[in-house]
Each structure stands twice: as structure tokens, then as C-alpha cells.
Structure 1
Amino acid sequence: MTPMVLNLTWSGLLVISAYLLGSLPTGYLAGRWLKDIDIREHGSGSTGATNILRTVGKGPAVVVLLIDALKGAAAISLVNGFYTLTQVSLLPETWQPWLVALAAFAAIFGHSKSIWL
């Protein structure tokens, strides 16, 4: 495998992982677990923390909001951790800021367009 193909493969895996992490539907799961409802059929129809606040309550909404924020932070940490923990530089250092931005975008996109819903 050529170095460029290897670089692109690792980059793609990191971005896909960030998307999958961001796509975990925490609001939907909170509605399902706490009230046995599909949150998309109540309130605004959104799976976000605001709709959880309206439909389920303040405590679950705060938890959903925190988990959603942590998903984004974890996606960025995934890329930074990959650069920090790998002994051999598998990806060029100049790619790191771009991959961090792509991972953040992928997590946000996953949050908006979840593969699970």
C-alpha cells in the first residue's frame, strides 16, 4: 500500500468514526428509555435537548445537552489522540488541523443526520 493510500485510509477512518460518534441519538434514546416515547412525535419533533426539556424534563435535557457536547469533543479528541498516541507518524503533521475540522464537521453532520434514525 502506498503512503498516500495509507494516509487517506486512516483519515477516512477517523472522519467516519467521528460521524458515527456524533450520530448517536442521545435525545431519542432519552425519550425512549425514560418515557417510552419516540421524541420525534412530540413537541417540535426534534431529538435535541430543547425538545427533551419540553417533553421529558429539565434533568434529562441537561444530560442530553452534556452528552451531545461531549460527542463533539470526543470526535476532536479522537483525531488529536491519534496523532499523540501513535509512535510512528502515520499521517503528516500538516493534516492534523484539517482532520480536526473534518472530524468536528462529521460529528455535527452525524448529530443532524443520524444513520440510526
Structure 2
Amino acid sequence: MALWVALNGLLLVGAYLLGSMPPGYWAGRLLKGIDIREHGSGSTGATNVLRTVGKVPALVVLLIDVFKGAAAIALVHWFYVFAQAQAFLPPAIETMFWLPWMVTLAGMAALLGHSKSVFLSFT
């Protein structure tokens, strides 16, 4: 049971870290050498990248932002399918009950990481 709780905790930390990746900030740094948070709206999102860096980088940032959340959810879903097949889960755990909850929590962790990124000092 403790292993299952620890693995779920690691999944949520992984989802947070996926969400924390700031592609808009990186696009500004790599392509223009600027801190995008000091230009335009001050956001690291695709709209501010569009205003300050350009259309193609903004599209890439948007796609990465979307796939960050999808990857966090897919990671949890994959783990539950794999863990059930490999008998990592204790017999008392009903995966069909916990899967939607963990998928939701992973999405929320990715969302939290997106808005409060550890890579940007939680700004």
C-alpha cells in the first residue's frame, strides 16, 4: 500500500513538473534573448509570444502547452494500465475507481505547474 501511495505521489510530482516547463519563456530567451515576462502582457503564454517573438514560435508554444497537460494525463493513465497488468497495485485497490481521480489530479497538478512554475521561481 505504501508503494502505491508513493508511486501516485511521484506521478503527481511528474505531472506538476511537466506543467512547469515554460516554453514561452524559453522561446523568448532562445529566439530573441529576452525575458518575455518583461514585455507585452508579462505572461509566458502563447499570446504574449505571438506579440513579442512571432507567429511560428507562438504556435509551437501553444502546442507544447497543450501537450504538457495531455502528457501528464496520459502518464497517469499509462501507469494505471501498466501497474494493473504488472500487479504493482495492492489487491484491495480498485483501479477503475482511482483512475479518474488520479487523471483529474494529474491534470490539476499540470495546471498548477503551468501557473506556478518551479523553473520560474513560482511566478
**What TM-score bracket applies, with the shorter chain setting the length?**
over 0.9
After superposition, where does 1:83-102 map in structure 2 within 5 Å? 83-86=80-83, 87-90=86-89, 92=93, 93=95, 94-102=97-105
- Deviation of residue 90 (structure 1)? 2.1
Unaligned runs of 5+ in 1: none
CA distance in 1, matches of 2:109, 2:89: 21
Per-residue displacement from partner, 1:46-89 (whole Å, max 9, x unpaired)? Answer: 00000000000111000000000000000000000101223214
Query: Which stretches of structure 1, 4 residues or longer, exceed 3 Å deviation after superposition?
Result: none
Task: Output the amino acid matched with 2:113.
Answer: G
After superposition, where does 1:6-25 map in structure 2 within 5 Å? 6-25=3-22
CA distance in 1, matches of 2:89, 2:67: 26
Q: 1:26 is matched with which residue?
A: 23
CA RMSD, aligned part only? 1.1
Q: 1:74 is matched with which residue?
A: 71
Q: 1:54 is matched with which residue?
A: 51
Count of residues paired in the alignment: 114
Q: 2:35 is matched with which residue?
A: 38
Q: 1:110 is matched with which residue?
A: 113
What is the TM-score of this pair, normalised by structure 2?
A: 0.89
Unaligned runs of 5+ in 2: none
